[in-house]
Structure 1
Amino acid sequence: MKNLALLLLLTLPAASLAQTKKPPTDLRGVLTEELHSTHDVEDWFVPASTAVAGLTADQAKWTPGKDQHSVGQLAYHIWFWDTQALARFKGEKATPAPSNNDETFNDYSPAQWDELVKKLNQVMTDWDTAVAAADDAKLAANASLIAHVATHNAYHIGQILYVRKLQGAWDPSKGVK
């Protein structure tokens, strides 16, 4: 009897944890979850807010080798394309896209690192707000765009972590060993 009571006590916390996070059941919920997982919620992987946190401008400019991107370049690229896609989603005129995608990496300079981190967080927050405010028809019409933004972010956030690990500037307690 004591063993059964102990077993029940041990399984209660696990059962309540499993019930606190339910998967979304509608399109808005899925898209919001995807955007937050690449912005500010640690879920299946490290979000951007954690991936860029604590780096100095000098660390952000480090590259693992010739023709490799720095964390700063990757963060700038994410910010640039998130801003472009958000303008499109909102029906606003976006900045003209460069003819060569390399420019979206190479337009970064270490002097702008602190401001870039703020702008990256802001555009991701703006995405969250825009999706929350959009009506169902707009969400349905733009679901693929939003999903691609989140996938693109996740891809490059993975690169940011890899560069930080190569540099020795990543704390594995933050989510990736």
Structure 2
Amino acid sequence: MLTSVKEVLLDQLAACHDDESWFKPSKTILNDVSVNDAVWKAENYPHSICEIAHHLIFWNEMWLNRFINDDLYEKSNTTNDETFELDHRKQNEASWNETIRRLSNGFVHWREVITNCDDSKLEKRIPSYFNAQWWGVISNLCIHNAYHIGQMMLLKKQVQKYRS
């Protein structure tokens, strides 16, 4: 039996969030990262773990809201660079825990929405966004998450080496 598009998307979202498979998921990576480690920046690297997490939250929530509200693509006023911006001085354990919670909840919410949506919703095209189908946009969103989750893993290893 062939796997459905919905099953593939759910598998991709699980791999990014909490399914230990080919790569460490975000939940595992961020489990023991302190706020000090989360805001640390490697030399010659533009972003911290916390900044990357905020970037992912922005895009995951924006596309989820568009999907839920059947919102045809409308260009965001926020630039991609702005999605990484963060005042590190305002970060503390509580704000970092909230960041982790929002990232995790985004994956959970995406999975709930995909599970409960009609297959025709995933086939629907977004004319103003390259005429892409929703399933393709969500799949690319998962690839985007996986890319940045890999960056967070690398930064976590670097900060652990730096701190030891």
- TM category (shorter chain) comes to 0.7 to 0.9
Aligned length in residues: 147
Contact in 2 for aligned 1:27/1:140 (Cα 8 Å): no
Structure 2 counterpart of 1:97: 76
Pick aligned residue for 1:38 from 5, 12, 16: 16
The residue that corresponds to 1:132 in the other structure is: 115
Q: Is the contact between residue 33 and residue 156 of structure 2 (CA under 8 Å) also seen in structure 1?
A: no
| C-alpha separation in 1, matches of 2:122 and 2:87 | 32
| Aligned partners of 1:73 and 1:108 also within 8 Å | no
Is 2:38 the partner of 1:60? Answer: yes
Between the aligned partners of 2:78 and 2:122, the Cα distance in structure 1 is 29
Query: Judging changes above 3 Å, is the alpha-carbon distance between structure 1 residues 90 and 136 closer, same or farther for their aligned structure 2 residues?
Result: same
Cα deviation digits, residues 26-60 of structure 1 (max 9, x gap) = 11111100111101111111111111111111110
- Residue 119 of structure 1 pairs with residue 102 of structure 2: yes
Instruction: Say if 1:98 and 1:104, in contact at 8 Å, map to a contact too.
Output: no
Asked if the contact 1:61–1:73 (Cα under 8 Å) also holds between the matched residues in 2, the reply is yes
Consecutive aligned runs of 4 or more in structure 1 exceeding 3 Å deviation: 96-99
Task: Indicate the structure (1 or 2) with the bigger Cα radius of gyration.
Answer: 1
Q: Could you tell me which residue of structure 1 aligns to residue 61 of structure 2? A: 83
RMSD, aligned α-carbons: 2.3
Identity among equivalent positions (%) equals 31
Measured after TM superposition, the shift of residue 66 of structure 1 is 4.4
How far is 1:145 from its partner? 1.2
Structure 1 spans left out of the alignment, 5+ residues:
1-22, 170-177
TM-score by length of 1: 0.76
Tell me: CA distance 1:91–1:77, structure 2 relative to 1, closer, same or farther (3 Å).
same
Say which of 122, 125, 149 aligns to 2:141: 149
Structure 1, residues 85-119: CA drift from partner, whole Å, max 9, x if none? 1011112679x834421111113642321110001
